[in-house]
Amino acid sequence: MKAMLWVVAAGGLLVSAAGYAQSGADVVKAKGCLNCHEVDKKKVGPAFKDIAAKYKGKKEAEGDLMAKLKDGKGHMKIAASDADIKAALKYVLSRK
């Protein structure tokens, strides 16, 4: 069984030190995705809703996009944890 470390921070906030990731919307903002993308219209890159439509129903969508973002193939390389990238991808792929 995997052990998890819990840290109690000031003010009584309980935070898991193993596997903490920001929300997808927060990652998109923090990593500068909105400099090139918008939710509902094309900017420099495609709109998030268009990306979601392109990958709708494809099981390999998250893995394919993760590779693009981590390796910089077809998209600029993103410096973020796997958990943060997954959160951002879930956010983008859920746009309508």
| Arithmetic mean of pLDDT over the chain | 82
Question: What's this model's pTM, rounded to 2 decimal places?
Answer: 0.74
Q: What does the chain come to in residues? A: 96
Q: If you compute the radius of gyration of the chain from its CA atoms, what whole number of angstroms results? A: 15
| pLDDT of 10 | 43
| pLDDT of 19 | 52
Q: Rounded to whole angstroms, how far apart are CA atoms 80 and 83? A: 8
Q: What CATH code is assigned to 21-93?
A: 1.10.760.10
Sites in the chain below the pLDDT cut of 70: 1-21
